[in-house]
Structure 1
Amino acid sequence: MNRRALEAICQTFAPGSEGVAEAVLGASRRHLGPAEQRQLSLLLATFGRGFAILPPDRRAAALRAWGDSRIPQRRAAFVALKQAALSFAYMLRDSSWTSERWKAIGYAGPA
């Protein structure tokens, strides 16, 4: 899979999201069947190698274009990528069971 594209996508939706792309890939390996994994791989390949080296504002514009596309599959892909990036960005925590994102939104963490 195009890990660099996924890392750039995750960084665009959730800046400072180290480890998120790896978490998304790990979850996809565990929970998606071979056909769905192939679809994810093809989706990430559509972004190409150049996407990862674009400045953040250009990456954001490219992703917004997918979200605003007339093509339903592009909009669906945008939503899936955004949900995956943001879900894992807010789900991940450090070894002390805290997260800077949690602190930023006033969440104290699990009880």
Structure 2
Amino acid sequence: MLPLHYIQKGVLFPKPSTAFDAIAQRLQTSLSHCLLHFPFLSGRLATDAESTIFVDCNDAGAQFVIAKADGLHVLDLMNAVHVPLIVRSFFPMDAINYDGYSLPLVAVQ
């Protein structure tokens, strides 16, 4: 077993003038293009006969999640004394991956 903490990064952007659905589609297309150049990101962990762990580039796919937080503003997050609980929902893989053999190695939300 290889417990794996996901590296999570969040970026906040100002509200765009483009429709949400168009932006989501563009991000999904960009992720698809990225995976063509970095195929290991869409693979899964695997173990060979000598128990060596490696990334199996099996094209199992990355996770892409579309989510909206209507009524939430950047200032609600920036002005908070403590990190609001809703921030956890911004990261689809907010856990330790004990099951990297079947879960995606990359998730984008």
State the TM-score, normalizing by the size of structure 2. Answer: 0.28
Between Structure 1 and Structure 2, the one with more strand by share is: 2
State the TM-score, normalizing by the size of structure 1. Answer: 0.28
Tell me which structure has the larger Cα radius of gyration: 2
Between Structure 1 and Structure 2, the one with more helix by share is: 1
The structure showing larger relative contact order (alpha-carbon pairs under 8 Å, at least 6 residues apart) is 2
